[in-house]
Amino acid sequence: MLSEFKERYTHKTRSLNIKPSVRRLFVSIERQICWLDCDDYPLTRTFRVSTGIKPPSNQEGSNGTPIGLHCIQEKIGEGSRVGTLFKGRVPIGKQYAELDPNEQEANLITSRILWLSGLETGYNRGHGHDSHDRYIYFHGTNHEDKIGEPSSGGCIQLLNTEMIELFDLTDEGDHVYIS
């Protein structure tokens, strides 16, 4: 499966005339898995994820996880404690466990954020279907029991400790191929 993602990624970067990144994230919506693949070391790291509960979609307002080639545009939350709650991409000084149980029912953005930007103009970049403008992230969640099944509003969610690990292993500009 990973080899198929690598082939599609290579084809996509060639067709867009984009230089491949040293580190790449491959997200399988079907399998709810993300692989971190890197030229600098031979090991590939695998993470269970949760993508959108709605069907994959690049359209604004769809709440579907966008597909295609993206990059990490911005990393947010370095040094924050595990479970730190973010609102508007700003840590609010609380961990989600400190919230009232009613407030914890919502799917919250926790621990770290990798904010994505689409690289395919007219597909996942540009008016009406722009992944960055849709606020599509990798992020931790307060609903860790749902990791491995579609449960987000379009983002890619990980266990909080694994989100921190992924954050530390990636850089802005690294490519993300979602299919």
Average pLDDT (58-74) is 97
Average pLDDT (100-107) is 87
> 8 phi and psi, to 5 degrees?
-65, -40
CB 59, CB 75: distance < 8 Å: no
> 7 phi and psi, to 5 degrees?
-65, -45
Can you give the pLDDT at residue 97?
A: 87
Count of the separate structural domains present in the chain: 1
Residue 41 confidence (pLDDT) above 80: no
Distance CA 115, CA 118 (A): 10
Q: Which range of residues forms the domain containing residue 31?
A: 2-178
What is the model's pTM? 0.95
Average pLDDT (154-169) is 97
Q: Looking at residue 31, which CATH number applies to its domain?
A: 2.40.440.10
Instruction: For residue 23, count other CB atoms closer than 10 A to its CB.
Output: 19
CB 62, CB 133: distance < 8 Å: no
